[in-house]
A and B are shown apart, each in its own frame.
Chain A
Amino acid sequence: MTVPISYFLVLAAVLFCIGLYGVLTRRHLVIVLASIELMLNSVNINLVAFSAIGPYADITGQVFSLFVITVAAAEAAVGLAILIALYRNRDSIDVIKHDLLGTDKEKSVSTLQ
């Protein structure tokens, strides 16, 4: 008995939403980057599910997901490198404290410190 593809699609959609929620609400930048990885990996679930039991199952989806994994790794590497640069400048990786560029610059700094 095979599992219907809709289960996989729902799982991927749920993971995507969790990732998006994490990006939007989390304050810790490492978790924000991890949430982006979660979103990219939900795409991989979609691709692999379509590739295995989709209406037009073929190998392309698996190739695509390999590309996605590679790019996600590159993005994570650059992201963490920037994170370290930021940490050296600010001694903190809290998102809300990093709002020097925002228009309400004074307000956010004064309420947090």
Chain B
Amino acid sequence: MLAFEATWSLMTPEIVLGALAMLVFTIDFMTGIHEKKPFIGRLSIFSLLVTAVLVLVMNPQGGQIGDTFLVDPFAMVFKLIILVGVALVIMMSMNYLDRNEDIYQGEYYSILLFTALGAMIMVSSADLITLFIGLEIVSISSYALAGFKKHNIDSTEASIKYIVLGGTASAFILFGMSYLYGLTGTTSLYEIGAAMPELFADYTVMIMISLLFMLGGFGFKVSMVPFHMWAPDVYYGAPTPVTAFLATVSKLAAFGIIIRVFTLGFESIYAEWAFIVATIAAITMIVGNFIALTQQDVKRLMAYSGIAQAGYILVPIATVLNNFSITVIIFYSVAYIMMTLGAFSIITLVSEQSGRKTGMDTFAGLYQRSPYMAVAMAIFLLSLAGLPFTAGFIGKANIFLLAINGNMLWLAIIMIVTSIISFYYYFGVIKQMFMAEPKPNAEEIKVPGGIQAVVTVTLAGTVLLGILPNLLLDLFTGFNWMI
């Protein structure tokens, strides 16, 4: 616990990213409020790439700063996922921002950089206070991002809903944390984990309250089912690139801390909470997939699809917590961020071309209007549904096999059945793109460079991981995730 012996150099990527985010912020207010500032977007992408390189260079040897800040393969891979995810979000935002006059460009980019910073702190933390600060950096920035179109009623309303419910979720997390602190006298997850078996025997009720409150609060961030009500409304109202951010980076970072807290802190009482998580995973998959069947709006559909995907990622956590299940989760996270960001970049493109509407019919005849985008979107959706030869299929197959081997047959069956149901609503969009005639006034879509780049990168990732999953799986299997 001696903070003075800490090797602060482990924090270099975070410090550099923080400094660059400040720099972007400063350059922004020195260049006026209403300009278009594509160079700030490029600078932000550059900062994220610099940070990613620093993570790759500085982090592999591992280490920790006084039990509060951990650098291990788990944190490193999650940081890379987050940085690449935010860079892709910024790339798809650049054209969107140019077309929407009511968004202040510089602040948008610097806030996104700060969320990346917060998410990096989240996945690296091994202490309740550090974890909470990282979580709140991400949350508060997300509230602001969701309401970024401040003259648009839907956007501000999404934002107020998000802040009211998100603040409540934070209060739940804190309340759970306060009991954990009170019973152990420490906020370090290692020490809490060491004291847990004895503690659970003495104070069963209080530990369960604290566990459930924290699970509920984190569950809000990943939109698992009893706490998912905000997701469709916020996803619908927020600017589309921000929706992409909330559906991917914010959700995966929250999964990162769920895994971290439950592995380090609550592993010794695994038997007590595994069934709760399994039940929640089952309900999440069922509710997410069934409500998605009735959606007529693409962003809402993607929200429910994201809820269902959160259910799939919960299955390995509920089955067993070991090195292999973390490998499975991280592989699925990589696949998920690829296909979801790809799908959202095409939704951004199409909705901008059709007067900022996001109804299912805006996709009518996309194949005639832009064949590449239509085929790419079809592949992303099929990957989300889990068709073979896509990254989504490999990820789901791994989760399925893990659940069967871990004696969670009922969960595996629910997963398969709901995945099959999900084909129906994904095919609804695909049918619109290929079978329906384009609207009479629809013209050919000109694809801006940023979106083209995002789609190409994510498409390559989705297909490559579907055909050669061992590229990543072999690498991941060699990691000892948690130190």
Say whether A associates with B. yes
- Nearest CB of chain B from residue A30's CB, rounded to whole Å: 11
- Nearest CB of chain B from residue A113's CB, rounded to whole Å: 15
Q: Confirm or deny: B397 has a beta carbon within 8 angstroms of a beta carbon on chain A.
A: no
- Measured CA separation A46–B153 after assembly (Å): 38
- Measured CA separation A12–B164 after assembly (Å): 20
What size tier do the contact residues of chain B reach? 35 or more
Best-surrounded residue of B143, B151, B182 (most CB of chain A within 10 A): B182
- Nearest CB of chain A from residue B178's CB, rounded to whole Å: 4
Contact of A60 among B170, B171, B181 (CB under 8 A): B181
A23-47 interface code vs B (CB 8 A; 1 in, 0 out)? 1000001001100100110110011
B146-177 interface code vs A (CB 8 A; 1 in, 0 out)? 01001111101111110110011011001101
Indicate if the CB atoms of B168 and A101 lie closer than 8 Å: no
- The residues of A that contact B181 with a CB separation of less than 8 Å are 47, 50, 60-61, 64
Indicate if the CB atoms of A43 and B133 lie closer than 8 Å: no
- Nearest CB of chain A from residue B96's CB, rounded to whole Å: 19
Would you mind naming 27 contact pairs between A and B with Cβ atoms under 8 Å apart? A20-B168, A29-B164, A40-B167, A43-B178, A46-B179, A50-B181, A50-B182, A54-B185, A56-B184, A60-B185, A60-B186, A64-B177, A64-B181, A64-B187, A68-B174, A71-B133, A75-B140, A75-B170, A79-B143, A79-B160, A79-B163, A79-B167, A82-B143, A85-B147, A85-B150, A86-B159, A102-B233
- Nearest CB of chain B from residue A61's CB, rounded to whole Å: 6
Best-surrounded residue of A16, A50, A101 (most CB of chain B within 10 A): A101
Best-surrounded residue of A54, A61, A75 (most CB of chain B within 10 A): A75
Indicate if the CB atoms of B147 and A82 lie closer than 8 Å: yes
Q: Confirm or deny: A78 has a beta carbon within 8 angstroms of a beta carbon on chain B.
A: yes
- Contact A75 B154, CB 8 Å, known A43-B174, A58-B185: no
- The residues of A that contact B170 with a CB separation of less than 8 Å are 40, 71, 75
- Contact A55 B133, CB 8 Å, known A20-B168, A36-B164, A64-B128: no
- The residues of A that contact B237 with a CB separation of less than 8 Å are 101
Residue of A nearest to B136 (CB): A71
Q: Confirm or deny: A109 has a beta carbon within 8 angstroms of a beta carbon on chain B.
A: no
Closest 8 pairs (CB-CB, A-B): A56-B185, A50-B182, A39-B171, A46-B178, A36-B167, A101-B233, A43-B174, A86-B156
Residue of A nearest to B139 (CB): A75
Q: Confirm or deny: B236 has a beta carbon within 8 angstroms of a beta carbon on chain A.
A: yes
- The residues of A that contact B147 with a CB separation of less than 8 Å are 82, 85
- Measured CA separation A75–B140 after assembly (Å): 6
Q: Confirm or deny: A11 has a beta carbon within 8 angstroms of a beta carbon on chain B.
A: no
Contact of B133 among A40, A67, A90 (CB under 8 A): A67
Indicate if the CB atoms of A16 and B153 lie closer than 8 Å: no
For residues 161 through 216 of chain B, which have their beta carbon under 8 Å from a beta carbon of chain A? 161, 163-164, 167-168, 170-171, 174-175, 177-179, 181-187
Residue of A nearest to B172 (CB): A39
What size tier do the contact residues of chain A reach? 35 or more
- Measured CA separation A54–B140 after assembly (Å): 31
Q: Confirm or deny: B144 has a beta carbon within 8 angstroms of a beta carbon on chain A.
A: yes
Indicate if the CB atoms of A40 and B183 lie closer than 8 Å: no
Q: Confirm or deny: B445 has a beta carbon within 8 angstroms of a beta carbon on chain A.
A: no
- Nearest CB of chain A from residue B258's CB, rounded to whole Å: 20
Q: Confirm or deny: B132 has a beta carbon within 8 angstroms of a beta carbon on chain A.
A: yes
- The residues of A that contact B156 with a CB separation of less than 8 Å are 82, 85-86, 89
Q: Confirm or deny: B129 has a beta carbon within 8 angstroms of a beta carbon on chain A.
A: yes
Indicate if the CB atoms of A32 and B140 lie closer than 8 Å: no
Q: Confirm or deny: A83 has a beta carbon within 8 angstroms of a beta carbon on chain B.
A: yes
- Nearest CB of chain B from residue A22's CB, rounded to whole Å: 10
Q: Confirm or deny: A10 has a beta carbon within 8 angstroms of a beta carbon on chain B.
A: no
Indicate if the CB atoms of A75 and B136 lie closer than 8 Å: yes
Indicate if the CB atoms of B184 and A100 lie closer than 8 Å: no
Indicate if the CB atoms of A89 and B151 lie closer than 8 Å: yes
- Contact A47 B178, CB 8 Å, known A36-B168, A60-B187: yes
